[in-house]
Amino acid sequence: MKTRKLSAAGLLSIGFITGILWVVSCGGSSSVTSALASAASDITYSNTTSGLTATTVQAALDEVVSEDAANARAAVDSQDLTFGDVIADSFTLGAVKTGYFSIAGAAFTAAAYLDANDNYSTDQGDLQGNAVGATSYFASVNIPHGATITEFDVYILDNDALESATVRLMSYSLDGSENLSEITSVTSDDDTDLRSSAGLSTTVDNDLNAYLIKADLPASTSVDLTSAKVTYTYTSL
């Protein structure tokens, strides 16, 4: 420990003992020894103007770090962020999201070859059936694996009082097929009749199944398939 003489009556000694800075003031017959703190948690301070509740330096640092973290989370909540290359197995969303798969009638394919004059789409993209005989049409459905199908909607123009169209949402596997939902048109004076099948709860398994929409149109030029829509929910990407 180094010693420095302050006056004729006093000495000030400063040095390190076991890693702690000591200040020793000696004068006359008495001596005062004090050890400076070796940790931030041992140093007290006044927080009158700081706005913090901590009373030691370490506690103040912890409080500031905690507030910064909370402010950072609040700053990015519900904000659009741009990242560079991100690699992850999956992303879990903060809430359930809703998605839609829609397909126009013109995108359906006939089950068998038909003459172009008997199988065509209108200018609006509707699918009109074969006037000679009833025909089935198919369209593939592409929905993310693990999503839940909740609703099936079909838009059909049906101006034929005697004939109707039946549209099915189906799954196919090596074991066969399954109807997930079936909708039949009703004759309507409106341009397009919306038929819905809500309350579905089918989990999509693209590993074991394939999904498609099958439309059975009658032998009538007054029944058109306008479009079909599958609504689904998902919680991860």
**Greater model confidence, 11 or 90:** 90
Provide the 10 A C-beta neighbour count for residue 211.
20
**Greater model confidence, 158 or 89:** 158
Q: What would the pLDDT profile of 24-51 be if each residue is shown by its tens digit?
A: 555 544 444 455 556 766 666 677 766 6
Compute CA 57 distance to the chain's CA centroid, rounded to the nearest angstrom.
Answer: 41
Average pLDDT over residues 138-147: 96
Q: What would the pLDDT profile of 149-168 be if each residue is shown by its tens digit?
A: 999 999 988 888 888 899 99
Q: Which domains does the chain carry? A: 2-70 (no CATH), 93-236 (2.60.120.260)
Task: Look at residue 155 in the predicted model and tell me its pLDDT.
Answer: 92
Give SS3 for 71: helix
Q: What would the pLDDT profile of 187-207 be if each residue is shown by its tens digit?
A: 765 555 678 888 899 999 999
Do 147 and 233 contact (CB within 8 A), yes or no?
yes
Residue 172's pLDDT band, with cuts at 50, 70 and 90, is: very high
d(CA 158, CA 130): 14
Q: What is this structure's pTM? A: 0.62
Two structure tokens written together for 18: 């076991």
d(CA 176, CA 50): 72
**Greater model confidence, 119 or 60:** 60
Tell me the C-alpha to C-alpha distance, in Å, between residue 232 and each of 6, 53, 142, 207, 211.
84, 49, 11, 18, 13
